[in-house]
Every structure is written in structure tokens, then in C-alpha cells.
Amino acid sequence: MTTTASSRPDTAASSVPSVHHGRFAGKSVVVTGAAQGIGRSVAERIAAEGGEVTLVDRASLVHEVADGVRTAGTTVPNIPVHSVTADLETFDGALAAVEAAVASAGRIDVVVNNVGGTIWAKPYEHYTPEEIEKEVRRSLFPTLWMCRAALPHLIAQESGTIVNVSSVATRGVNRVPYAASKGGVRAITTALALEAAPHGVRVVATAPGGTEAPPRAVQRGPLPASDQEKAWYRQIVDQTVESSLMKRYGTLAEQAAAICFLASDEASYITGTVLPVAGGDLG
């Protein structure tokens, strides 16, 4: 869960990441949901650590973000940065994104599946059937489809890593469809790891807790408007802070650090694992 500055509690941690120079040198990394938030932070860090990165998002903003990552420079000169627009709620979109990344970089070594996020925040009995389906399409299917689209490439080269982004909101209030979707992401991770390991492919995940972020450039859905909707959202914020042993939200840098560790060769003996990054909240 990410919140904007207007709704989040203050955090105590620095937002400045500790860069591991050259950690992704020679690696081709695909990051989805990369136009903003956690995905953008991960893409920036991968590039700063020498990786050739492909940013994927359905918002055209991703191209502007990629330009910023490219001009910011990396620890390895002339590392390419690519961007792709695709609707990852469909298999065709996921397949197109993977094929574009392979065409640009020649191979894929790491896929970070970051697309997802609560659209509505309210008790389950207030969701319409259409809203429930939209939540599942938004937060489950992009990971399901990207794993399916990327896996044949990783199996063929007998190496690679998939890092999925789940959530500790699998145990949280006022977002049951989102919780169900992120529970599915956990299941994809643990089940696919069994199948992929014989092919030299690792499948891991993080489970972020509440994470502060700048105001979203592209909204997931309608913002809380009525007093009741604002109160339901406030319940999520309060429960998130209370469930964290550290009693605060995390930063984008803290989330990116965990994802990049699991994506790197430093985590070469870790697979089938979901790492909570939520100040002690295990979800």
C-alpha cells in the first residue's frame, strides 16, 4: 500500500538508497509498474547499479520516466534504458512487453512484477461485483500473465529471477478483493518456485507494508470523496501503522532495497520465499 504525503504518517528512515555499484552489471532487468512509486524506484536503482533496465507501464508517462533514468547516469557508462507501454491485465499485453524487452536487450535476466494496488477502500459488503473483478484484474493478473510470458525465455537460458510484489494487506481491513489478489501473488511465487527451480530459475517476492510516496501522477481509481469513504480509508492507514512494530510507514527506498536484493545474485540461494517489508508486520 502506498499513500501520498497528504494521508501518510511521517517516516523516520532516510529515503536515500545505499547503491551497490555494479551489482546488476551485465544484467537485463524488466520492471513493471515503473512509471511511479515502488516500480520507478526499483528501475532507478537497477540502472544506478549498472543494469540494463526496461520500464513497463500502461501509462505513457513511463517514457518520460525512462528518459529521466537515462539522463541521470549510471555507475556503468552507456547502459541502455528502455520503456514499453502495455496493458498487463491481458496476456497479449504481457507477451508484447516481454518480446519488446528481449528485442531491445537481447535477453531477460530479471523480471520485477510490481503492478497492482488498491482501487477502492471500503468494507467488502459495499463492493459491487464489477469493482471486485476490476480489483482482481488490476492486482493479480499482471503478475500471472508476466510470469507466463517471461518464463519460457528464462527456462530456455536456464537462468533468471522473478521477483513478485505481494503485500502484507492479505491481512488488512477494507480491501478484501485486493487482499485476495495479493494472496494469489504469494501463491504464484511459492508454487512457481517449485516448477522453475529445476530450470535454474528463482521465484521470490516481497510483501510491502504501508509505503509513503509522492502524489500519484496517474490515479488507480477515484479518490475518497464522501466523509464515509475518507473514514474507511483512514481505517486502512490506522490499521497499517498499528500493525507495524515500528509504528510508521516505509519509504520507497526501503522497498526498492529489498526487491533489488532478492533480484540480485546475492540472493542466489533464496527461492519460493515471500519477504515482508513492513516494519515487523508479517501480514
DSSP string of 149-184, one letter each residue:
HHHHHHHHHT-EEEEEE--GGGG-SS-HHHHHHHHH
Stated as kind and residue range, the H or E segment containing 191 is: helix 176-196
pLDDT value of residue 5: 40
Closest alpha carbon to 182 in 255, 272, 283, 273: 283
pTM value > 0.85:
yes
pLDDT value of residue 216: 80
Is residue 253 a contact partner of residue 15, using CB atoms and an 8 Å limit? Answer: yes
Q: CB-based contacts of 180: which residues, under 8 Å, 6+ apart?
A: 136, 140
Rounded-to-integer distance, Cα 186 and Cα 207, Å:
9
pLDDT value of residue 72: 79
Per-residue pLDDT for 9 more than 70?
no
Per-residue pLDDT for 275 more than 70?
yes
Give the torsion sign (CA, 198, 188, 113, 149). positive
Report domain extents, the chain: 21-277
Rounded-to-integer distance, Cα 20 and Cα 203, Å:
22
Rounded-to-integer distance, Cα 201 and Cα 243, Å:
33
* Residue 71 phi, psi (nearest 5): -80, -20
Q: Active site includes 178?
A: yes
Residues in the chain: 283
Per-residue pLDDT for 4 more than 60?
no
Of 9-18, 65-74, 96-105, the range with the lowest mean pLDDT is 9-18
pLDDT value of residue 217: 82
* Residue 58 phi, psi (nearest 5): -85, -10
Question: 7 pLDDT band (50/70/90 cuts)?
Answer: very low
**Count of C-beta atoms within a 10 Å radius of residue 199:** 14
Question: 17 pLDDT band (50/70/90 cuts)?
Answer: low
Q: What integer best gives the mean pLDDT of the chain?
A: 93
Of 178, 233, 249, 269, the catalytic one is 178
* Residue 281 phi, psi (nearest 5): -75, 120
Closest alpha carbon to 82 in 57, 52, 115: 52
The CATH number of the structural domain formed by 21-277 is 3.40.50.720
* Residue 39 phi, psi (nearest 5): -60, -45
State how beta strands 201-208 and 274-277 pair: parallel
- Please write the tens of the pLDDT for every residue from 148-172: 999 999 999 999 999 999 999 999 9
